[in-house]
Copies of this chain bind each other. A is one copy, B any other.
Amino acid sequence: MADMVMLKELASRIRQDILLSSTRAGSGHPTSSLSAVELMAALLFGGFFRYDPREPKHPNNDRLIFSKGHASPLFYALWAAAGEVSEEELLTYRRFGSPLEGHPTTAFRFTEAATGSLGQGLSIGVGMALNGKRLDHLPYRTFVLLGDSEMTEGSQWEAIQLAAHYGLDNLVGIIDVNRLGQRGETMYGHDIGAYAKRVATFGWEAIPVEDGHDFEQVLSAYARATSVTGRPVMIVARTIKGKGVPMLEDKNGWHGIPLSREQSDQAMQALGAGAAAKRIIGRMEKPENLRPEQTAPSEPGSPAYDRGSTVATRDAYGKALKRLAPAYPNLVVLDAEVSNSTRAEYFKEAHPERFLEMYIAEQNMVGAATGLAARGKLPFVSTFAAFLMRACDQIRMARYSDANIKLCGSHAGVSIGEDGLSQMGLEDLAFFRAVPDCAVLYPSDAVSTERLVEEAARHVGMAYLRTTRGKTPVIYDSTERFPIGGSKTLRQSEQDRAALVAAGITLHEALAAADDLLKEGIRLRVIDLYSIKPIDSDTLARAAEETGIVVTVEDHYAQGGLGEAVMAVLSGKDCRVHALAVRKRPRSGKPEELLALEGIDRKGISETVRALLV
């Protein structure tokens, strides 16, 4: 039985710390924090949360994710209540250099994943719960604090549906139904039944809590939540925004607005601050000291392809995953219902227990991958490059969680042909280049694909790999290596009059164009820029210097892709750079018709070079 007196004292203390930090910062979301105080205090200090603060990375710690990341004053106050954050540190909230950022980031040691873009925490929780249940087989639970406003995000319902599908009874969501969103009432106001019945219909155990500030009700909800088996649990609690500070309670217009120093002092006094106040420490339960079984990695075999045979790079992607599986025991594969197209199915067939079908729900897939990565897994995530654009916000946030995830976008470019432009990835390079420190890799044949998947697996951090639908000739020996940041110069002479820089499907067109022009006595350098980011500046600079003319060729829009990456490197150099890219509206047609339409086929390239050499 939890100590009610202690919990109530802790709640008052937590409320004071919420006011303290946000008022000192002069910004932040105290009202959104105050509504969830009892919900969180009961969880952490009411005997349910099993966590060793001396070892935040303990594999069997319960996990807590603040999906409503703007309630960060509460998040930090909870860890202060646990004795892990000092009052002095609380006062640095939102200051430059403080780990206590405006929304939780991994700069703070107890943050599981960066949040603040709403509607993402539950997906991350799904990933962590999938890990506990299906991969590490550990009994830890994952708790996710959700705002009522953010339940309108579709990604929540993707997570809800998948969690039910996989029967994740180690996942507990807590919706803080405080009625008020940023600019007014939410869609369902204080109707906790509206949430409960929706969630229940999706196969969750829904536990309504009439008064989310009544510790007895809240504790009883957690007791029930932690005894459910076979399905995930959602606690749906009616709460009061601004609870505990009468001038704020249930008032619209106070979202994201701190109290003044005077208002705060007054409210803190009312909450029991003063000379007599002592800082009591809440205790969490210890996790059982269980660790996942470790499989020893073995050396990966080598890819084996015959030069001159034709293999789709997407095919090589699937084969590489399968080949690397024993070398990376933590490697898992996620796909959004298109594994037969991305070829992730090769891995699935060989290692079904390490494959996660995520259905057509890309946002949740990426969010779950972030959760898996946070639990030490190495997720490879695939779908069509075009459909990865569905998850840009999740990818952005995954990067801010420093998630070690690898994304593969297949069916890049107009060269997919007849399916038409809805299926063509044509802006993926622009987006992924703008993700900080994300490696952007674009192989042209089976060997380079295999090697780049290997590089991506070895690389610590995010990597994006772009694959092609159609078959392309194998142009490299299977022993060739492709370090991230490198390039391959495939044609080179002292008489080179221009350099063609390409990757993926257009590399083959560039090679063909070089062959054609050679017959006319025009020698061209050809560079395979398989690593678009980081980029091989030296080789490009040398090519620019030695030839004076660089022609880039890419099956991607002209903005933000390979061409602009090269132009950025060569800016200020004494050379002309001409970028061939997708500039006309693509449509259905044969791959070769579409490459020709855009002038990125062998003929288009040859004509451009000839014109530039005039």
Could you tell me the distance between the alpha carbons of A361 and B420 in the complex, rounded to whole angstroms?
Answer: 27
A433: which B residues are within 8 A, CB to CB? 430, 559-560
The one of B105, B338, B422, B564 that contacts A114, using a Cβ cutoff of 8 Å: B422
**Distance between Cα atoms of A268 and B431 in the complex (Å):** 46
Q: CB < 8 Å: which of B105, B386, B561 contacts A420?
A: B105
The CA of A437 and the CA of B390, in the complex, are separated in Å by: 21
A103 at the A/B interface (Cβ < 8 Å)?
yes
Q: Which residue of B97, B119, B558 contacts A360 across the interface (Cβ within 8 Å)?
A: B119
> Cβ of A226 < 8 Å from any Cβ of B?
no
- Per the bound structure, the CA–CA distance linking A360 and B146 in Å amounts to 13
Q: Chain A, interface size: which category? A: 35 or more
Q: Which chain B residue has the least Cβ–Cβ distance from A26? A: B418
Complex alpha-carbon distance, A157 and B199, angstroms:
12
Contacts A118-B360, A564-B567, A575-B572 hold; do A434 and B431 have CB atoms under 8 A apart? Answer: yes
- Is A420 within 8 A of B153, CB to CB? no
Q: Which residues of B contact A557 (CB under 8 A)?
A: 434, 436
- B560-A571 in contact (CB<8A): no
Given known contacts A418-B102, A434-B557, A436-B557, is B575 in contact with A182 (CB within 8 Å)? no
A201 within 8 Å of B (CB atoms):
yes
In the bound complex, what is the Cα–Cα distance between A202 and B202 (angstroms)? Answer: 11
Contact of A363 (CB < 8 Å), options: B28, B97, B154: B154
**Which one of A77-85, A210-218, A520-528, A582-590 contacts B?**
A582-590
Residues from chain B with Cβ under 8 Å of A421 in the complex:
101, 105, 114, 116, 400
Kindly report which residue of chain B lies nearest to residue A147, judged by CB atoms: B360
| A460 close to B (CB within 8 Å) | no
Contact yes or no, A107 B430, CB < 8 A:
no
Which of chain B's residues has its CB closest to A164's CB?
B187
Least distance between A265 CB and chain B CB atoms (Å)? 21
Q: A101-B588, A154-B158, A198-B198 are in contact. List 4 more A-B contacts (CB 8 A).
A: A94-B420, A201-B201, A396-B427, A434-B561
Measured CB to CB, the residues of A under 8 A from B are: 25-28, 69, 94-98, 101-103, 105, 107, 114-119, 149-150, 152-158, 161, 165, 181-183, 186-187, 197-198, 201-202, 337-341, 345, 359-361, 363-364, 386-387, 389-390, 392-393, 396-397, 400, 417-423, 426-427, 430-431, 433-436, 533, 557-561, 563-565, 567-568, 570-572, 574-577, 579, 585, 587-590, 593-594, 597
